[in-house]
Amino acid sequence: MKKCLLALCMAPLLMQAAGIGVAVPFNIAERENIGYSDYDIQNTTYYYKPSTGLGFVFDTNVGKDSSFSYRVNLEYSYSKLDYASPSITSDLSKHKYSIINTFALSVYDDRTWRVWVAPRVIIQLESAEGGKDVRRFNTYGMGIAGVVGLNYRVSSKVALSLDLDYHGVAMLGGARLGSSNTYTLLDGSNKGPTARFYFLVKFGQESRDELVQPQAESMH
């Protein structure tokens, strides 16, 4: 009961600083190492071209000086295969859907700039399809990333942000290869650096402290 009351008391304070926005991810370089349960098929490393996507974001610290924030992205991206090793005859492309949880700690913070570092927990679903060698594969994955980020407060209600991570995601799934109509089990990993750009808008109205402090500073 005490924990529930504390959560209810803290909720208005969190909402004063929280906000929503959009994110644009840029997958700089992405590599997948995949092994197949069918031993007649060689394990394959897939290298994807740089790609982008779109996401929707909730952040608990858009317009307030706070040392901690939680950010969650609901994100989609589309990628096309650059090449594979060993080589395959396939024009492979994939759709990736991700839930990205970021737990950020400030290393520098003032009224305008915030620099932070964070661990990141990633849950993803991929659906890929191609040509002759790889007709389709679907995977589910979970992994972690290390992140460094920067927030710029344009105003008390609007912030811009960018971050850069390097992620590693473990994947399980199935593939339909060649002329086969049955799925072959697969497992593997997805790794690479991703940059993200954000536009964030804060909920609610400014608190009394936020309104009074700029007025006090202008009087000095």
Domain assignment of residue 53, yes or no: yes
- Full domain range(s) for residue 97: 18-215
Domain assignment of residue 11, yes or no: no
Find out whether 40 and 210 touch, Cβ atoms under 8 Å: no
pLDDT of residue 116: 96
Domain assignment of residue 7, yes or no: no
Quickly count: other Cβ atoms within 10 Å of residue 162's Cβ: 16
Confidence tier at 17 by pLDDT (50, 70, 90): confident
Of 11, 113, 121, 119, nearest in space to 60 by CA = 11
pLDDT above 90 (res 188): yes
pTM of the model: 0.82
Q: What is the CATH number of the domain that holds 26?
A: 2.40.160
Confidence tier at 207 by pLDDT (50, 70, 90): very low
- Judged by average pLDDT, the poorest of 55-59, 156-160, 172-176, 181-185 is 181-185
For the chain, the domain total comes to 1
